[in-house]
Every structure is written in structure tokens, then in C-alpha cells.
Amino acid sequence: MVRFTDFPARAESLAREIESAQPDLIGLQEAEVWRSQTPADFVPGNAEHVEYDFVRLLLDALSARACTTLKWSGPTGVDVEIPGFLSESDYLGGVLSDIRLTEHEVILAAFRSEDLGTEALKPAERSVRQ
């Protein structure tokens, strides 16, 4: 179901809009991380394989456009894990996985070197990651 949202394409679209508007702050609700573990062990909270990290995808899309951001994450909201199928072929083959959803509230702040009166930062130093 998550694949149908096509968040990688949506992140590119959001990055274009952010690059154009150049906001100082961006609030992200339901900043989701989807993880899995195969086979399922039915132990809540231990699936760690990242399937989708919506904030990371957006930060990567912004970085590709040379938009520098500073990320601040608020408290974790929902963090739930349930057994399910990752694909139709898993369903047909009876391969059950643990699927974990973690939601965060995130604020992205624009970082501009002129705000600090310093020279432009090297690209590798431009995105602070938590």
C-alpha cells in the first residue's frame, strides 16, 4: 500500500516547490519511517530494515537541488509493528513479515551561510542529519 503513494516522486515535487518558495521553516506532519523484518517474529518494535524514510527522501531531493536544510525532529508519535505481507508474491507464498510504522513531527529550517557571515559550506557539510 505504501508503494502506491510513490513518495520518492512526491519528494522530488516537494523539493521543487521548496526550492522555488525558499521558506525559512517547513513543518512536516506524519514524517513516516516504514521498516520491515522477514520472517515475522511477532515481537513489537524490532523491525529495522528501512523500506521508506520520508524525511530522508525529501532531504536527499533537497540536497540534489543544493537546498541546504537543518533538520529538527520532535518527539516520536506512533510507533507500531504488525505482521503483514510486503508484496502480492509474499501473500501468495505465505511469507509473513513484521511491518513497522514510526511517525515523527519534523521541522526543517533553511540554512544559509550568509546568516552566519561565513563562506559557503562544502556540499558534504550542508545537511545536518540526526
pLDDT attached to residue 116: 54
**130 residues of the chain, pLDDT tens digit each:** 577 778 889 999 999 999 999 898 999 988 999 999 999 999 988 999 999 999 999 999 998 988 888 888 778 889 999 999 998 999 999 999 999 999 999 999 887 655 555 444 444 344 444 4
Q: Of 113, 33, 105, 94, give the one whose Cα is nearest residue 71.
A: 105
pLDDT attached to residue 89: 93
pTM of the model: 0.77
What are the CA-CA distances from residue 98 to residues 34, 49, 52, 102, 125 (Å)?
A: 11, 10, 14, 13, 35
Sequence-distant (≥ 6) Cβ neighbours of residue 114 within 8 angstroms: none
pLDDT attached to residue 123: 41
